[in-house]
Amino acid sequence: MQDFVAALPKAELHVHHVGSAAPDTVARLAARHPDSPVPSDPEALAEYFTFTDFAHFIEVYLSVVDLLRTPEDIWILTHEVGRDLAAQNVRYAELTMTPYTSIARGIAAEAYVEAIEDARRAVERDFGTALQWIFDIPGESGLPAADVTLDTALRLQPDALVGFGLGGPEIGVPRPQFAPHFAAARAAGLHSVPHAGESTGPQSIWDSIDELGAERIGHGIAAAQDPALLERLAADGIVLEVCPTSNVCTRSVPSLEEHPLPSLVEAGVTVTINSDDPPMFGTTLNAEYEIAAELLGLDEAGLRALATAAVDASFAPEDLKSWLRSEIEAASA
Ligand SMILES: [Zn+2]
Protein backbone atom coordinates (compact mmCIF):
# COMPACT_ATOMS: atom_id res chain seq x y z
CA MET A 1 0.00 0.00 0.00
CA GLN A 2 2.73 2.44 1.04
CA ASP A 3 4.71 1.71 -2.11
CA PHE A 4 1.65 2.08 -4.29
CA VAL A 5 0.74 5.44 -2.76
CA ALA A 6 4.32 6.66 -3.17
CA ALA A 7 4.35 5.58 -6.83
CA LEU A 8 0.93 7.06 -7.56
CA PRO A 9 1.13 10.34 -9.50
CA LYS A 10 -0.84 12.90 -7.51
CA ALA A 11 -2.36 16.37 -7.64
CA GLU A 12 -2.29 18.43 -4.44
CA LEU A 13 -5.02 21.07 -4.18
CA HIS A 14 -4.80 22.36 -0.62
CA VAL A 15 -1.28 23.10 0.57
CA HIS A 16 0.08 26.37 1.92
CA HIS A 17 3.31 27.92 0.65
CA VAL A 18 4.79 28.97 4.00
CA GLY A 19 3.25 25.96 5.75
CA SER A 20 5.15 23.64 3.37
CA ALA A 21 8.61 24.84 4.42
CA ALA A 22 10.65 21.73 5.26
CA PRO A 23 13.23 21.83 8.09
CA ASP A 24 16.18 21.92 5.65
CA THR A 25 14.61 24.88 3.81
CA VAL A 26 14.08 26.70 7.09
CA ALA A 27 17.70 25.94 8.05
CA ARG A 28 18.84 27.49 4.80
CA LEU A 29 16.71 30.59 5.32
CA ALA A 30 17.79 30.87 8.98
CA ALA A 31 21.44 30.76 7.88
CA ARG A 32 20.73 33.70 5.54
CA HIS A 33 19.35 35.70 8.48
CA PRO A 34 21.58 34.92 11.49
CA ASP A 35 19.77 37.42 13.72
CA SER A 36 16.64 35.20 13.63
CA PRO A 37 15.91 33.05 16.72
CA VAL A 38 15.25 30.03 14.47
CA PRO A 39 18.04 27.43 14.76
CA SER A 40 19.96 26.77 11.54
CA ASP A 41 21.42 23.48 12.78
CA PRO A 42 19.39 20.67 11.12
CA GLU A 43 19.17 18.52 14.25
CA ALA A 44 17.94 21.34 16.48
CA LEU A 45 15.51 22.28 13.74
CA ALA A 46 14.09 18.78 13.45
CA GLU A 47 13.21 19.01 17.12
CA TYR A 48 11.88 22.55 16.70
CA PHE A 49 9.57 21.17 13.99
CA THR A 50 8.20 18.24 16.00
CA PHE A 51 4.51 19.03 16.30
CA THR A 52 3.36 19.45 19.90
CA ASP A 53 0.17 21.49 19.79
CA PHE A 54 -1.61 24.17 17.80
CA ALA A 55 0.15 27.05 19.59
CA HIS A 56 3.46 25.46 18.63
CA PHE A 57 2.34 25.24 14.99
CA ILE A 58 1.52 28.97 14.97
CA GLU A 59 4.92 29.72 16.52
CA VAL A 60 6.77 27.71 13.87
CA TYR A 61 4.65 29.20 11.08
CA LEU A 62 5.30 32.77 12.21
CA SER A 63 9.01 32.14 12.60
CA VAL A 64 9.14 30.99 8.97
CA VAL A 65 7.16 34.06 7.90
CA ASP A 66 9.79 36.15 9.68
CA LEU A 67 12.55 34.51 7.59
CA LEU A 68 10.95 35.60 4.31
CA ARG A 69 12.49 39.06 4.08
CA THR A 70 13.61 39.36 0.46
CA PRO A 71 12.31 38.17 -2.93
CA GLU A 72 15.25 35.73 -2.95
CA ASP A 73 13.89 34.12 0.26
CA ILE A 74 10.50 33.72 -1.43
CA TRP A 75 12.19 32.15 -4.45
CA ILE A 76 14.15 29.66 -2.31
CA LEU A 77 11.05 28.61 -0.37
CA THR A 78 8.95 28.16 -3.52
CA HIS A 79 11.66 26.20 -5.32
CA GLU A 80 12.22 23.85 -2.38
CA VAL A 81 8.48 23.33 -1.81
CA GLY A 82 8.33 22.26 -5.47
CA ARG A 83 11.25 19.89 -4.87
CA ASP A 84 9.48 18.30 -1.87
CA LEU A 85 6.21 17.89 -3.78
CA ALA A 86 8.02 16.26 -6.70
CA ALA A 87 9.78 13.84 -4.32
CA GLN A 88 6.32 12.48 -3.40
CA ASN A 89 5.27 12.11 -7.01
CA VAL A 90 3.03 15.17 -6.85
CA ARG A 91 3.00 16.16 -10.52
CA TYR A 92 0.69 19.14 -10.17
CA ALA A 93 -0.08 21.39 -7.22
CA GLU A 94 -2.19 24.44 -6.55
CA LEU A 95 -0.16 26.21 -3.92
CA THR A 96 -2.01 28.59 -1.62
CA MET A 97 0.01 31.79 -1.38
CA THR A 98 -0.57 34.63 1.06
CA PRO A 99 1.08 37.61 -0.66
CA TYR A 100 -0.33 40.00 1.94
CA THR A 101 2.00 38.76 4.71
CA SER A 102 5.07 39.39 2.57
CA ILE A 103 3.82 42.71 1.21
CA ALA A 104 2.98 43.88 4.75
CA ARG A 105 6.59 43.08 5.67
CA GLY A 106 7.99 45.30 2.97
CA ILE A 107 8.39 43.12 -0.12
CA ALA A 108 6.89 44.90 -3.13
CA ALA A 109 3.97 43.04 -4.73
CA GLU A 110 5.77 43.15 -8.11
CA ALA A 111 8.92 41.57 -6.66
CA TYR A 112 6.87 38.93 -4.84
CA VAL A 113 5.06 37.92 -8.03
CA GLU A 114 8.27 37.91 -10.06
CA ALA A 115 9.96 35.65 -7.47
CA ILE A 116 7.17 33.07 -7.37
CA GLU A 117 6.71 33.02 -11.14
CA ASP A 118 10.44 32.58 -11.72
CA ALA A 119 10.62 29.83 -9.06
CA ARG A 120 7.61 28.11 -10.65
CA ARG A 121 9.38 27.90 -14.01
CA ALA A 122 12.50 26.59 -12.26
CA VAL A 123 10.47 23.93 -10.41
CA GLU A 124 8.96 22.68 -13.66
CA ARG A 125 12.40 22.61 -15.32
CA ASP A 126 14.29 21.07 -12.36
CA PHE A 127 11.70 18.67 -10.92
CA GLY A 128 8.98 18.30 -13.56
CA THR A 129 6.14 19.37 -11.26
CA ALA A 130 3.68 21.98 -12.50
CA LEU A 131 2.54 24.61 -10.00
CA GLN A 132 -0.34 27.04 -10.10
CA TRP A 133 -1.35 29.60 -7.47
CA ILE A 134 -4.29 30.37 -5.26
CA PHE A 135 -3.93 33.79 -3.62
CA ASP A 136 -5.64 33.76 -0.25
CA ILE A 137 -6.83 36.48 2.07
CA PRO A 138 -5.55 35.96 5.63
CA GLY A 139 -9.01 36.38 7.17
CA GLU A 140 -7.71 37.54 10.55
CA SER A 141 -6.19 40.62 8.90
CA GLY A 142 -9.60 41.70 7.64
CA LEU A 143 -10.65 43.90 4.76
CA PRO A 144 -7.35 45.80 4.29
CA ALA A 145 -5.63 42.44 3.66
CA ALA A 146 -8.42 41.48 1.27
CA ASP A 147 -7.88 44.73 -0.67
CA VAL A 148 -4.13 44.11 -1.01
CA THR A 149 -4.64 40.47 -2.03
CA LEU A 150 -7.21 41.36 -4.68
CA ASP A 151 -5.13 44.25 -5.99
CA THR A 152 -2.04 42.04 -6.30
CA ALA A 153 -4.06 39.41 -8.15
CA LEU A 154 -5.86 41.69 -10.58
CA ARG A 155 -3.21 44.32 -11.22
CA LEU A 156 -0.25 41.96 -11.67
CA GLN A 157 -2.13 38.93 -13.06
CA PRO A 158 0.55 36.29 -12.45
CA ASP A 159 0.56 33.73 -15.31
CA ALA A 160 -0.14 30.78 -13.00
CA LEU A 161 -2.77 32.39 -10.78
CA VAL A 162 -6.00 30.36 -11.01
CA GLY A 163 -7.81 30.80 -7.72
CA PHE A 164 -8.82 33.21 -4.99
CA GLY A 165 -9.02 31.95 -1.41
CA LEU A 166 -9.66 32.85 2.19
CA GLY A 167 -7.66 31.31 5.02
CA GLY A 168 -6.61 31.94 8.60
CA PRO A 169 -8.81 31.33 11.63
CA GLU A 170 -12.54 31.02 10.89
CA ILE A 171 -13.89 31.93 14.31
CA GLY A 172 -14.76 35.64 14.38
CA VAL A 173 -14.17 35.99 10.62
CA PRO A 174 -17.59 35.90 8.90
CA ARG A 175 -17.26 34.90 5.24
CA PRO A 176 -19.86 37.31 3.72
CA GLN A 177 -17.76 40.44 4.41
CA PHE A 178 -15.44 39.34 1.58
CA ALA A 179 -18.22 38.96 -1.01
CA PRO A 180 -17.16 42.03 -3.06
CA HIS A 181 -13.56 40.77 -3.24
CA PHE A 182 -14.63 37.34 -4.42
CA ALA A 183 -17.05 38.85 -6.92
CA ALA A 184 -14.25 40.93 -8.44
CA ALA A 185 -11.85 37.97 -8.50
CA ARG A 186 -14.46 35.75 -10.17
CA ALA A 187 -15.27 38.43 -12.72
CA ALA A 188 -11.57 38.38 -13.62
CA GLY A 189 -11.75 34.61 -14.23
CA LEU A 190 -10.35 33.34 -10.94
CA HIS A 191 -11.91 30.32 -9.21
CA SER A 192 -13.39 30.72 -5.75
CA VAL A 193 -11.83 28.39 -3.15
CA PRO A 194 -12.36 29.68 0.40
CA HIS A 195 -11.66 27.75 3.61
CA ALA A 196 -14.85 27.07 5.57
CA GLY A 197 -16.36 24.53 7.93
CA GLU A 198 -13.02 23.61 9.46
CA SER A 199 -13.28 25.03 12.99
CA THR A 200 -16.75 26.56 12.55
CA GLY A 201 -20.09 24.96 11.69
CA PRO A 202 -22.00 24.39 8.45
CA GLN A 203 -23.15 28.03 8.17
CA SER A 204 -19.67 29.16 7.06
CA ILE A 205 -19.92 26.66 4.18
CA TRP A 206 -23.39 27.89 3.18
CA ASP A 207 -22.04 31.45 3.27
CA SER A 208 -19.08 30.47 1.13
CA ILE A 209 -21.35 28.93 -1.48
CA ASP A 210 -24.05 31.61 -1.47
CA GLU A 211 -21.94 34.74 -0.87
CA LEU A 212 -18.50 33.86 -2.24
CA GLY A 213 -19.47 31.55 -5.12
CA ALA A 214 -17.27 28.73 -3.79
CA GLU A 215 -16.42 26.02 -6.34
CA ARG A 216 -14.34 24.05 -3.85
CA ILE A 217 -14.26 24.37 -0.07
CA GLY A 218 -11.04 24.24 1.95
CA HIS A 219 -11.78 21.56 4.59
CA GLY A 220 -15.60 21.80 4.73
CA ILE A 221 -15.77 18.87 7.14
CA ALA A 222 -18.56 20.53 9.17
CA ALA A 223 -20.87 19.68 6.26
CA ALA A 224 -21.17 16.24 7.83
CA GLN A 225 -23.43 17.84 10.48
CA ASP A 226 -25.96 19.15 7.94
CA PRO A 227 -27.84 16.74 5.60
CA ALA A 228 -29.26 19.58 3.46
CA LEU A 229 -25.76 20.96 2.92
CA LEU A 230 -24.42 17.52 1.99
CA GLU A 231 -27.18 17.29 -0.58
CA ARG A 232 -26.30 20.73 -1.98
CA LEU A 233 -22.57 19.92 -2.22
CA ALA A 234 -23.30 16.63 -3.99
CA ALA A 235 -25.90 18.12 -6.35
CA ASP A 236 -23.76 21.10 -7.37
CA GLY A 237 -20.49 19.18 -7.54
CA ILE A 238 -18.83 21.41 -4.96
CA VAL A 239 -15.66 19.61 -3.94
CA LEU A 240 -14.19 19.40 -0.44
CA GLU A 241 -10.43 19.64 0.12
CA VAL A 242 -10.06 17.35 3.11
CA CYS A 243 -6.84 17.38 5.18
CA PRO A 244 -7.25 14.66 7.86
CA THR A 245 -4.09 15.09 9.95
CA SER A 246 -4.42 18.87 9.96
CA ASN A 247 -7.94 18.52 11.37
CA VAL A 248 -6.66 16.42 14.26
CA CYS A 249 -3.68 18.73 14.91
CA THR A 250 -5.93 21.81 15.07
CA ARG A 251 -8.44 19.81 17.17
CA SER A 252 -11.19 20.38 14.62
CA VAL A 253 -11.82 16.63 15.01
CA PRO A 254 -10.87 14.64 18.13
CA SER A 255 -9.05 11.80 16.35
CA LEU A 256 -8.51 10.24 12.93
CA GLU A 257 -10.88 7.42 13.89
CA GLU A 258 -13.64 9.99 14.38
CA HIS A 259 -12.90 11.92 11.19
CA PRO A 260 -16.09 12.56 9.15
CA LEU A 261 -14.42 11.62 5.82
CA PRO A 262 -16.42 8.36 5.49
CA SER A 263 -19.79 10.09 6.03
CA LEU A 264 -18.92 12.78 3.48
CA VAL A 265 -18.13 10.12 0.89
CA GLU A 266 -21.22 8.14 1.80
CA ALA A 267 -23.36 11.24 1.19
CA GLY A 268 -22.05 11.40 -2.38
CA VAL A 269 -19.88 14.48 -1.87
CA THR A 270 -16.70 14.63 -3.96
CA VAL A 271 -13.70 14.72 -1.65
CA THR A 272 -10.04 15.22 -2.40
CA ILE A 273 -7.20 14.42 0.00
CA ASN A 274 -4.63 17.08 0.82
CA SER A 275 -1.92 17.94 3.32
CA ASP A 276 -2.44 21.64 4.30
CA ASP A 277 0.84 22.48 6.16
CA PRO A 278 2.61 19.12 5.95
CA PRO A 279 6.01 19.51 7.71
CA MET A 280 4.44 21.58 10.47
CA PHE A 281 1.77 18.92 11.10
CA GLY A 282 4.32 16.11 10.79
CA THR A 283 2.71 14.67 7.66
CA THR A 284 3.06 14.31 3.88
CA LEU A 285 0.51 13.98 1.09
CA ASN A 286 1.47 10.30 0.82
CA ALA A 287 0.72 9.81 4.53
CA GLU A 288 -2.68 11.49 4.04
CA TYR A 289 -3.52 9.10 1.18
CA GLU A 290 -2.62 6.16 3.43
CA ILE A 291 -4.89 7.56 6.15
CA ALA A 292 -7.72 8.00 3.65
CA ALA A 293 -7.24 4.44 2.40
CA GLU A 294 -7.54 3.21 5.96
CA LEU A 295 -10.60 5.32 6.80
CA LEU A 296 -12.41 4.50 3.54
CA GLY A 297 -11.19 0.93 3.11
CA LEU A 298 -9.64 1.65 -0.30
CA ASP A 299 -7.73 -0.80 -2.45
CA GLU A 300 -5.50 0.22 -5.37
CA ALA A 301 -8.48 0.97 -7.60
CA GLY A 302 -9.97 3.14 -4.86
CA LEU A 303 -6.70 5.03 -4.47
CA ARG A 304 -6.53 5.61 -8.22
CA ALA A 305 -10.08 6.99 -8.08
CA LEU A 306 -9.12 9.29 -5.20
CA ALA A 307 -6.09 10.61 -7.08
CA THR A 308 -8.21 11.07 -10.21
CA ALA A 309 -10.83 13.02 -8.25
CA ALA A 310 -8.14 15.58 -7.38
CA VAL A 311 -7.16 15.90 -11.03
CA ASP A 312 -10.80 16.36 -12.06
CA ALA A 313 -11.35 19.00 -9.34
CA SER A 314 -8.18 20.88 -10.20
CA PHE A 315 -7.86 24.00 -12.32
CA ALA A 316 -5.04 22.48 -14.37
CA PRO A 317 -5.09 22.91 -18.16
CA GLU A 318 -7.03 20.14 -19.93
CA ASP A 319 -3.97 18.58 -21.60
CA LEU A 320 -2.21 18.28 -18.24
CA LYS A 321 -5.35 16.76 -16.71
CA SER A 322 -5.66 14.05 -19.35
CA TRP A 323 -1.95 13.25 -19.15
CA LEU A 324 -2.20 12.93 -15.36
CA ARG A 325 -5.28 10.70 -15.57
CA SER A 326 -3.45 8.30 -17.85
CA GLU A 327 -0.36 8.34 -15.58
CA ILE A 328 -2.60 7.45 -12.62
CA GLU A 329 -4.18 4.63 -14.64
CA ALA A 330 -0.73 3.27 -15.49
CA ALA A 331 0.70 3.51 -11.95
CA SER A 332 2.02 0.41 -10.21
CA ALA A 333 4.01 -0.05 -7.01
ZN1 LIG B 1 -5.53 25.45 4.70
> How many whole angstroms separate alpha carbon 279 and alpha carbon 50?
9
- Give 255's pLDDT tier (boundaries 50, 70, 90): very high
Instruction: Determine the CATH number of domain 2-330.
Output: 3.20.20.140
What confidence tens digit (pLDDT) does each residue in 56-66 have?
888 889 999 99
> pLDDT grade, residue 186 (50/70/90)?
very high
* pLDDT at residue 29 greater than cutoff 90: yes
Cα–Cα distance between 121 and 294 in angstroms, integer? 36
User: At residue 301, does pLDDT exceed 80?
Assistant: yes
How many angstroms is it from 167 CA to the middle of ligand 1? 6
- pLDDT for the residue numbered 52: 82
Distance 194 CA to ligand 1 centre (A): 9
How would you label 163-190 residue by residue, b for 16+ Cβ within 10 Å and e otherwise?
Answer: bbbbbeebeebebeebeebbeebeeeeb
CA–centroid distance, residue 196 to ligand 1 (Å): 9
Query: Are residues 142 and 175 in contact, defined by beta-carbon separation less than 8 angstroms?
Result: no
Whole-angstrom distance, CA of residue 59 vs CA of residue 5? 31
Respond yes or no: is residue 300 known to be catalytic. Answer: no
The arithmetic mean of pLDDT across residues 256-277, rounded, is 98
Rounded distance between C-alpha atoms, residue 40 and residue 44, angstroms: 8
pTM recorded for the entire structure = 0.96
Given a contact cutoff of 8 angstroms between Cβ atoms, the answer to whether 64 and 18 are in contact is yes
The pLDDT of residue 249 is: 92
Q: In angstroms, what CA-CA distances link 58 with 52, 53, 147, 170, 280? A: 11, 9, 24, 15, 9
pLDDT of res. 40: 87
- With 90 as the cut, is the pLDDT of residue 310 above it? yes
Catalytic residue among 198, 215, 241, 290: 198
pLDDT value of residue 333: 76
> Of 218, 212, 225, 134, nearest to 174 (Cα)?
212
- Mean pLDDT score, 250-259: 95
Q: Quick one: pLDDT at residue 322?
A: 98
- Ligand 1 centroid–CA 332 distance in Å is 30
- pLDDT band at 42; cut points 50, 70, 90: confident
